[in-house]
Structure 1
Amino acid sequence: MTVEVTRNDGSARYEARVDGVLAGFAEYQLTDALVVFTHTEVLPAFEGQGIGSALARAALDDVRDAGERQVLPLCPFISGWIGKHPDYQSLVYGAPRSTATD
């Protein structure tokens, strides 16, 4: 199973598809400084298959790669996912800056 995640700017959401079929989405709102994640949903037929994790990772990677905004995870799923993946914590609005050194 291959999950493809794309950003759908017209619907203000990231969409996960499996074999071309919509499997889930993460809705967002944009401000000048933030991507506010408001709701994530995995369709029942795709639950428990890692769709939500693939969606969160791809959406957050997209925000990171753009380098223009921070993330405000109002959505409990995105917030919880970031909590389990601390390497994404620096994207979160208001998060303390890393003190790690190379």
Structure 2
Amino acid sequence: MALENDTQAPDFELPNQFGEHVRLSDFRHKKPVALVFFPLAFSSTCTSELCELRDNLALFADKSIELIGISVDSKATLRAFAEKEGYAFNLLADFWPHGAVA
């Protein structure tokens, strides 16, 4: 399902790289959220794109935008990926059922 810009995404809950459950609706009426879907942790393209976001995280923070990455990788894979690349934002695991949110 494709959404237009500024369209409210359906609510979902997924675990982050630390196993904490993150629910999209927890941010509603508090701050805007930028959802970034990426297919595979550790791939060169995804790493490059997420590193660009990491390096410009202040731009999101300055506008009080919550940045959230979502992939079909497991929590353990996302944790290792975040630690290796220094990502200081939530990476959510849409692992099982595989891609149910994405």
TM-score normalised by L of structure 2: 0.34
Of structures 1 and 2, the one with the larger relative CO (CA 8 A, separation 6+) is: 2
Of structures 1 and 2, the larger Rg is shown by: 1
Higher share of residues assigned strand:
1
